[in-house]
Structure 1
């Protein structure tokens, strides 16, 4: 099972994947079936571009050194489209804007309405 269904359950994961597929179809002018295949592949790969959303907590991947990352865990408070960035809070309460690509160092662990609730 990929990370998203494990974290939020299969129904919420499917709903997220369908929303992503609709967005991909509209933005990239793809057929719905092709957009759904692409969305599923991105979700299964744990692609932060497809997954990152407010309310999530991402933990440092075990293969990443702590010194190579801004924190051991990040709670996403907001996501900005242009440029792709996150307003994130670390485990100590520090809030900062980070590039979306920083999530390549992390894996999704929790998705609630409020990340640190």
Structure 2
């Protein structure tokens, strides 16, 4: 990995938040199996991202924006989760603490003694 001198981007994974898996929560993890919905756009057209793909990206991001604006539950975010190399579009909740959170957060959540 290239050292840019910047703090690495936090990555997340997902878990069923209840027995029936009616809701999904995401938590910090190096597994990187969850992504908030937004596609990168490019400054210029190329062989790997031609005008057709650039146009599709713009349309898809506009759909994501409309969905987010219509979201009445502000505790959840439009996200992709990955399973078996495929993506699923979901509303993801956050706030779960997992094994990859910083120790201070884990200690507070689990009420560990100092």
Q: TM-score, normalised by structure 1?
A: 0.28
